[in-house]
Amino acid sequence: MINILKYGEVSNSEIFSRAVPTVNVEATVADIIANVRKDGDKALLYYCKKFDGASLSSLVVSEDEINEAFAAVEPKFVEILEKAAKNIRAFHEKQVRNSFIINNENGIVVGQKVIPVDKAGLYVPGGTAAYPSTVLMDAIPAKIAGCREVVMVTPPNKEGKVNPVILAAAKIAGIDRIFKVGGAQAVAALAYGTESVPKVDKIVGPGNAFVAEAKKQVFGVVSIDMIAGPSEILIVADGKSNARHVAADLLSQAEHDRMASAVLVTDSYALAEAVSTELERQIPLLERAEIARESIDKNGKIIVADTLLAAIDIANEIAPEHLELCVDNPFDYLDAIRHAGSIFMGRNCPEALGDYFAGPNHTLPTSGTAKFSSPLSVDDFVKKTQYTYYTKDALERVARDVAFFAEKEGLTAHAKSAVVRLED
């Protein structure tokens, strides 16, 4: 049963504690990466057999396989995928940054170019559930950014096939190439390249502890989006909230995995008790009841605060991945929320809207990193280059100032490079 904690009556360590994965996979992942660097496709095929039970002759998903999978997906779901893709595109197109130039009249030009990364690599999980939503959320911003090539890796099933809904989403999103490989070995392949899998410039997408550790270990060779922790939801709800709805929303994240965190912060003890009762009623009805049960019992909590503003202060300290604001007039409180990956406003906005359909990205900072990082966006697939131009007269006006500055840092060659042109 979920714990109900009264803020101010228990220690802050209880209020703000988080689930911490205890599995140490660092050495295992390091060995996998080393083997992929050494043996390339041979290592990938070995790990596909070992971890996925698939004996593959090729890692490449062919165009025929994609078309066959697309035809196998029920038309209604294809229609929904296309609607979701339209919403995601509309949202992310607003994120596009423009290059700029400052052209002064005194012979000075400075500017910044916004340039997409050449190759983006998308990791799409394929373990206990298939995530076509992740395909759309990761691929569409990369395409909008203008990446020259977007490639995807995802594990196959024992028959060597990729889930058809994953391939249907990839076709709708316009992914260029797809490979049947998952786990830390897929991350290694994207980072270093193999005979089949191209080396990319950036790797994005969620995964299990092995994938997260692999992303950490290859960072620097390639860029990554973030190190994702367990899924999180925090709901700030007042006493008018529907306990049945709040419990259902908490379980929408608890069913992800046993380490997922579901937290309610409320100013109503009556709501806290009603939600606890509802959780006990709803959990046995879930298909993933065993996972949700462990998540709620080990990592779930209900925190009762004196006021709604105090509840928001608690939410800011936790800095959750998903934050639902179940109150009247939610926009009155929006400015008070400083730290959250994505905010769901009002009583009619379950977090599932963001997972699949509304348009904002669902690849979000976890484990409190929303205090300093952001959701996946078009910005993740671009880089910026600056440039400077001075005429001879413009340089002459400032060369001695530049040299004086350089000498204060003890860098006389810097100073000389600025004034040497005055001596000619």
Q: Which residues are catalytic?
A: 321-322
| Contact indicator for 323, 315 with CB cutoff of 8 Å | yes
Half-sphere exposure of 184 (CA within 13 A, CB side): 23
Cα–chain-centroid distance for residue 420? 50
- Torsion angle of C-alpha atoms 71, 77, 83, 84, degrees rounded to 10: -110
Q: How far apart are CA 249 and CA 16, in angstroms?
A: 20
Q: How far apart are CA 386 and CA 337, in angstroms?
A: 34
For the chain, the first-to-last Cα distance in angstroms comes to 82
Among candidates 208, 153, 204, 171, which has minimal Cα distance to 41?
153
**Does residue 233 sit in helix, strand or coil?**
strand
Q: For the sheet containing 100-103, what is the strand order?
A: 100-103, 108-116, 382-390
